[in-house]
Structure 1
Amino acid sequence: MTLYQQRAAELARLRKEAIEEAHRKGLNYTEIAELLGITKGRISQIKSGAPPAERAFFGVGPVAVGIPRREVGEGGTADVFDASDRAARSLVEKVLARLSLASSRFEIEPDAAEVPPGDTVVICAPGSAPVAQQLMTEDDTLKLEKVDGEWYLVEKATGRRYTSPATADPADRADIGFLGRREEDGRVIVHIAGMTSMGSHGVAHWLDSNVSGLYEPSVRSASAVVESDVEAGTSVVDSRVVAGPFVTRE
């Protein structure tokens, strides 16, 4: 049932997007209604009742949201998840709900090498699981690189590097993170990866406020470096893009 409900929501979104595109091209809503053979009141219902266009940033739905399970002890694994990873997941789930997208949760095991089927949000740094390493490697514009013992996000085209401000000054309560989104085999994969788990929370914080501006129908992949400020342990108070978004259009 959830799958059918998600398809219905996507159909409503597409209708709204088509109406708004026709309006941008110069047709008024009365003319659009006449062309579609429906009333102007029905046009208003579609516009007000359908999900926003940026719903498609995450796909059609439902969307699986995963965070890494942490290894604990020698040879043992426990149900331990970082607090910032959990906060990032909750924030992403809030965004999904606002966009009329159903969501489910999955655990990323330390040896996980593949993204689950369907539309997915992977909240995982490359050091936590091979699947995150692979996703980062496949990004068109950014890569992760270790230089003199420190990790950097690097622009492939220019070589410009970004690292956590706390690396230079441990008292600096800021971090950076990677945001990547691509369409693959008829689905959407969104990847969030902080230099630390706080960086992942910061990316989710930025996405919460900026997904509407980030989404474009013609964009097939996008990535960015997000910097965030942290207070009171795990509370992200501000976030901003410091590189990108870098996009690939159809």
Structure 2
Amino acid sequence: MEEDFDGLRTDPDPIRRGRRATDLLAVYQQRSTELARIRRAAIEEARDLLGGSYTEVAKAFGLTKGRITQIRATAPPAHRAFFGVGPLAVALPGRIIRDRDDVVIAAEDDKTGANLISELEKLSFITERVIIDPREEWEPTGDAVIVCGPASAHIGHTLMSRDPVLRMAIGDNAQWYLVDEVTGDRFLSPLDEPDPKRADHAYIARRKRGSHVIVHIAGLHALGSVGAARYVMESVPELFAEYGDEEFSMAVTTEFDGLIPKQPKILVPPRKWS
């Protein structure tokens, strides 16, 4: 980071210098936000350690009690760390349509991305929407939320192939299933049942890549990702409290009214990978 800063200050190219400054500002802003989150979490831990008194916490931290109250009210919550530090790439699967050179996106994936970005920005994340070209082998360079199944893009296949407890598989009828490697259970999308209904299953995983976090969402159909995204954003406080920085995966099922998800339900409970 220090080398990036020093190199930026002496870069003779104003265009490159300006672009690098923009990128570095986002990184510094997100680290500042993470420091605020860490301090707020430390205040709560110290309160428990000191017998439940914020007055004692203020003395220990060298701050006024009013400042402690302000930090608790304005700093990001502890569960922000579920998604890493940021900035966050929110990656969605692009699709190729015959006679068109550009990449398009399904309405369901567009809605999933919009919902995720709206909720992640409430946690003080700087986000970048990425449309994955299925002809390219895109990889995240930092923290990311990736909405992509194994057939939609290289990254979806790569991530899911490394999950020890859940995967997606295609059956003899060319329909995709969620497969529980622990129990052997297979789950076909309700959309593909002989008597189909407006519902879908989806895969959710939280994994680490070096120092970065990837949250992976993949519906059996694009519709399922809408429900999974809602589940993640509504349940992240409980998921972080239970699993912290651990890697895990799970599956949910959701019924829909059009594109509007009803309350998602757990299909396969969360399981740690180690």
**TM-score with structure 1 length normalisation?**
0.92
Name the residue aligned to 1:107. Answer: 131
1:170 Cα offset (Å): 4.7
Name the residue aligned to 2:8. Answer: none
Take 1:3 and 1:10, find their aligned partners in 2: how far apart are those partners?
Answer: 11
Q: What do you get for the CA RMSD once the two structures are aligned? A: 1.7
1:140 Cα offset (Å): 3.0
Name the residue aligned to 1:225. Answer: 251
Among 194, 210, 216, which residue is 2:235 paired with? Answer: 210
Take 1:12 and 1:65, find their aligned partners in 2: how far apart are those partners?
Answer: 23
- 1:1-250 equivalence runs, <5 A: 1-25=25-49, 26-73=51-98, 77-149=101-173, 150-216=175-241, 218-232=244-258, 234-248=259-273
For structure 1, the residue ranges without an aligned partner over 5 or more in a row are: none
Deviant stretches of 4+, over 4 Å: none
Take 2:203 and 2:34, find their aligned partners in 1: how far apart are those partners?
Answer: 27
Counterpart of 1:107, as a letter, is I
- The answer as to whether partners of 1:112 and 1:131 remain within 8 angstroms in 2 is no
CA shift digits 1:43-63 (9 cap, x unpaired): 111111101111111111110
Q: Give 3-state SS (helix, strand or coil) of 1:166's partner.
A: helix
Moved more, 23-32 or 199-208: 23-32
Take 1:183 and 1:2, find their aligned partners in 2: how far apart are those partners?
Answer: 21
Take 2:88 and 2:212, find their aligned partners in 1: how far apart are those partners?
Answer: 10
Take 2:46 and 2:185, find their aligned partners in 1: how far apart are those partners?
Answer: 41
**TM-score with structure 2 length normalisation?**
0.84
Q: Which has the higher helix share?
A: 2
Aligned length: 247
For structure 2, the residue ranges without an aligned partner over 5 or more in a row are: 1-24
Take 1:114 and 1:69, find their aligned partners in 2: how far apart are those partners?
Answer: 11
1:27 Cα offset (Å): 4.1
Moved more, 129-138 or 214-223: 214-223
CA shift digits 1:135-194 (9 cap, x unpaired): 111123211123333322112222122221222145311001111111211111111111
Percent pairwise identity: 38
Q: Which has the higher strand share?
A: 1
Larger radius of gyration: 2
- The answer as to whether partners of 1:91 and 1:208 remain within 8 angstroms in 2 is no
- Higher RCO (CA-CA < 8 Å; seq separation 6+): 1
Counterpart of 1:33, as a letter, is A
Take 2:43 and 2:257, find their aligned partners in 1: how far apart are those partners?
Answer: 44
